[in-house]
Chains A and B, each alone.
Chain A
Amino acid sequence: MIHKRTQAKWEEPLILNKGGAGRRAYIPESVNLPKETIPDEWIRKSPLELPQVSELELVRHVVRLSQMIHGVDVGPYPLGSCTMKYNPKINERIARFPGFADMHPQAPEQSIQGTLEVFFWLQETLKKLTGFDAVTIQPPGGASGEFTGVLVIKAYHEARNDTKRDTIIIPDSAHGTNPASAAMAGFKVIEIPSTEDGYVDLEALKSVLTENIAGFMITNPNTLGLFEPNIQEICKMVHDVGGLNYLDGANFNGIVGVIKPAKMGFDVMHMNLHKTFTGPHGGGGPGSGPVAVSEKLRKYLPVPIAAKKDQTFYWDFSNKKTSIGKVHGYNGNFGIALRALLYILRNGGPGLRKTCETAVLNANYLLHHVRQINGLTIPKGKNVPCKHEFVASASKLLKETGVSTNDIAKAMLDYGVHSPTVYFPLIIKEALMIEPTESESKQSLDLIADVFKEITKLAYSDPDSVKNSPHLTSTGRLDEVTLAKKPVLSQLIEKKDIFS
């Protein structure tokens, strides 16, 4: 019997509905800007609608909200392909140093030497880890990194007047954003099927390799947590028809410090600093999706790149004529870049290798236990160890009890464990994509396994109890349809009723 967790349940109103007129948590210093310097149309005609609360009200509000959610600081968070690892608190402390936190993005180079140095060394460390020749930190997230990488591929072919290449090949076990990124860049997409074992079907790949192929995008380890055994052969096949190979590095945590992607035959890859390198995430950002490329693609990367001459750091615009241009307002989400560099330097090469090995070991330990649970199956990768994650299916459980993957996901919250990623990848029915990360201890892994066991057992004895879960959280099941179709993003927007 596992102890359940009862989440706090506060009747907490929105902050705009708290407090009273004139209350303040913070009184800024008055600024005497000469009025004539601001154009009349820029000056507010009505007061800004801000919450009016005291500091105590504000603190209680955010503390109560924090008690009604789940996060990696509360309990295990095995959300597959999202790499919800622990975010070291020392990163947060250093990110708050005034020299970093108060930096203006348009400050002149000579006054941001430290910031440039962070960018530069992050580029250098990522080059070292990936085996590539050049890196941009500019893309502000994973999908943005993909888009950047695909634009680089496009620029490469266009520069060679090879304009017939209009298609990108993507396996069905890739991340869902891959086809969207390729399409956004103006490519057609061919999705190819996986084999029974979950790997790229070489015959299928061969059948679509023509002179129209611009590139091949693959996630490796793939979304099943399996490392593609034929990756070098695949990359060679694509190169042989003139295409380029793109690695989606969202699952980099399964190989970081062990394999350099450039050695597998890739030409370009993106990484998710907020996943592999401990940027706090899960609330929609900010993220960071640096792109690393081989030498022949260097000149197409977004500009500027952080560079160093003698002891001075500077923004290098030298490739601006061949560059695909900027992909972000400034030069990347610096806060996440800084945390990533801190994490990399504090671990060092051997440390990163150890984190990777531990992540893989943890996933396999959990896989071993989940494999034995009645109602759950592991449809792919039957005779091989997984990498950092694996995918279970609750199809059997659904058939035998009526309890679905979604029900399991909800029930887990009552045990203080976040759900895995559900219903993805699409090639597995009733998928539960489980990634414990290296952060979790053996006790945590045992807890996750026990939670799966207890819920599936309950599904057979009292399925309605699971179907109606969670029972102990601040809110029960949400109306997900209304949530998706009519999201209320802020109370101000709701007040103005912009959706009606």
Chain B
Amino acid sequence: MKVGLICNPIAGVGIFLGTKGTDNVQLAWEKISEGLDPPVYKIINRTLCQLKSLKRPIQFFTTFNINKVLQSCNFSLPFEVCYSMPNHSTSQNTIEAVQIFVEKKVDLIIFFGGDGTASDVAKTAPYIPIIGIPSGVKIFSAGFLHTPDDLLQILQNWPLPVKKELLVDLDEKLYEKGKIVPKYTVEATLPVNPRIQLGKISYGESDELVYERIAERINEDKMLSNKSILVGAGSTFYKIFEFLNLEKTLLGIDYYVNGELRIKDLDPSKFDNLEIDELWVTPIGRQGHLIGRGNRQISPEILKKIGLKNLKVFSTPEKSKDLEKLYIDTQDSEVDLLFKGFVQVIIGYYESVLKKVE
């Protein structure tokens, strides 16, 4: 089996720029020049180290020396660097690297990045199956692993059935302004497996009562009172909070104390000093992610402090109905484990649905 492995070195830097993606390449490289350790390196390390248990021969074609990464976990894999990423690489470099993978006739391309990287890879290799390791800020497309820890199982069980699906990327400028305008970019060949996420779908409930009922329950149970709460992003909360007569940003994480909005759209540097009793989240439509998609600014350290018992999940009934399981991708395997189990999803005035978190 031949696998192409590519990494977008600036993936995820947008979190530290306070932006909702990393479309501005120049700003990202400036941030790294200022001393930011590219966040993707940690993810690469975590992902590749699990391959120690790999039971099949794989020849890797890469854009970097993977054994340098694997030193930390004391093993090595056969690889060939077939393209060297220059400093301050751009999407053009991704495209060039993938072209070489195509020439090498790889069976699968694995990339570290987000929706932008996915599009660059797929448009260059539309007929080769691709799998994304979630490393970017925007990860709404289909084809990403639910968590990097799933890669070993995928490779062990290869080949998998594949399907053609349009990838989606959000227009970052509109997204920054709070407008979710999906842009279908390119048709990709994607493996089909429960460990691989589906593309996000927006569930615009036409019945406003759905949101009003949840708001009524929040009021009646005094859920906001005497607590400091981080409330996650998404249109579900945006609409519920309208009925609570409280301001809520569409895409940001906002901080409420005793029912009052204290801080809007928190950036990662602010979290450490906050007292946090609860984290409220809503799953991403059809994907089912609670953490790690659209809210990567919450670090594993903060999540560890909050814990599963202080996580409250809200959803509209339609969105919940299509989700068999929920997913957590905190960027830290140990913290992921803390959140595994069952969680109650509040879907109405009186009704909650229990869902398994994986």
Contacts and interface: CB of A to CB of B under 8 A. Distances in A.
Contact of A188 (B321, B324, B352, B354): B352
B353 A207 contact: no
22 contacts: A179-B351, A183-B349, A183-B350, A187-B350, A189-B350, A189-B351, A189-B352, A190-B351, A190-B354, A191-B352, A191-B353, A192-B354, A193-B324, A193-B354, A193-B356, A204-B342, A204-B354, A204-B356, A207-B341, A207-B354, A208-B354, A426-B321
Given A204-B356, A208-B342, A208-B354, 11 more contacts: A172-B353, A179-B351, A187-B350, A189-B350, A189-B351, A190-B352, A190-B354, A191-B352, A193-B355, A193-B356, A208-B344
B318 to A, nearest CB: 12
A102 interface: no
A315 B353 CA distance: 43
Contact of B350 (A172, A188, A192, A203): A188
Interface in B310-358: 321, 324, 341-342, 344, 349-356
Contact of B342 (A179, A183, A189, A203): A203
A400 to B, nearest CB: 15
Contact of B354 (A182, A183, A187, A191): A191
Nearest to A171: B354
Nearest to A191: B353
Nearest to A167: B352
Contacts of A426: 321
Interface in A165-202: 172, 179, 182-183, 187-193
A395 B354 CA distance: 25
Interface in A434-457: none
Contacts of B342: 203-204, 207-208
B356 A190 contact: no
Contact of B351 (A188, A192, A203): A188
B351 A183 contact: yes
Contacts of A182: 350
Interface residues of B, number: 13
Contacts of B354: 190-193, 204, 207-208
A207 B352 CA distance: 14
B353 A190 contact: yes
* Majority SS at the chain B contact face: strand
A208 B354 CA distance: 8
B342 to A, nearest CB: 4
Interface of B: 321, 324, 341-342, 344, 349-356
A179 B349 CA distance: 12
A100 B283 CA distance: 58
A188 B350 CA distance: 5
Contacts of B352: 188-191
A189 B317 CA distance: 13
Contacts of A179: 350-351
Contacts of A207: 341-342, 354
Nearest to B320: A191
A20 to B, nearest CB: 48
A183 B354 CA distance: 17
Which one of B321, B352, B355 has the highest number of Cβ atoms from chain A below 10 Å of its Cβ?
A: B352
A182 B351 CA distance: 10
Closest 6 CB pairs of A and B: A207-B342, A183-B350, A192-B354, A191-B353, A189-B351, A190-B352
A182 B324 CA distance: 24
A202 to B, nearest CB: 11
Which one of A183, A191, A203 has the highest number of Cβ atoms from chain B below 10 Å of its Cβ?
A: A191
A191 B351 contact: yes
A406 to B, nearest CB: 18
A192 B342 CA distance: 10
Contacts of A204: 342, 354, 356
B337 to A, nearest CB: 16
Nearest to A172: B353
Contacts of B344: 190, 208
Contacts of B349: 183
Nearest to A190: B352
Nearest to B349: A183
Contacts of A187: 350
Nearest to A168: B350
A196 to B, nearest CB: 10
B304 to A, nearest CB: 20
A190 B350 CA distance: 9
Contacts of A189: 350-352
A149 to B, nearest CB: 17
A462 B237 CA distance: 47
Nearest to B347: A191
Which one of A182, A187, A204, A426 has the highest number of Cβ atoms from chain B below 10 Å of its Cβ?
A: A204
A204 B187 CA distance: 39
B299 to A, nearest CB: 27
Nearest to A205: B354
Nearest to A179: B351
Contacts of A191: 351-354
A223 to B, nearest CB: 16
B165 to A, nearest CB: 16
A150 to B, nearest CB: 12
Contacts of A183: 349-351
A33 B341 CA distance: 73
A190 B320 CA distance: 13
Contacts of A192: 354
A172 B345 CA distance: 14
A182 B356 CA distance: 23
Nearest to B342: A207
Contacts of A203: 342
Nearest to A203: B342
Contacts of B324: 193
A208 B344 CA distance: 9
A208 B355 CA distance: 11
Contacts of B341: 207
Nearest to B355: A193
Interface string A383-417: 00000000000000000000000000000000000
A208 B356 CA distance: 12
B202 to A, nearest CB: 21
Contacts of A193: 324, 353-356
Contacts of A190: 344, 351-354
B8 to A, nearest CB: 36
B61 to A, nearest CB: 36
A190 to B, nearest CB: 5
B357 to A, nearest CB: 11
Which one of B321, B341, B351, B356 has the highest number of Cβ atoms from chain A below 10 Å of its Cβ?
A: B351
Nearest to B343: A207
A200 B214 CA distance: 27
B271 to A, nearest CB: 28
Contacts of B351: 179, 183, 188-191
B68 to A, nearest CB: 42
B316 to A, nearest CB: 15
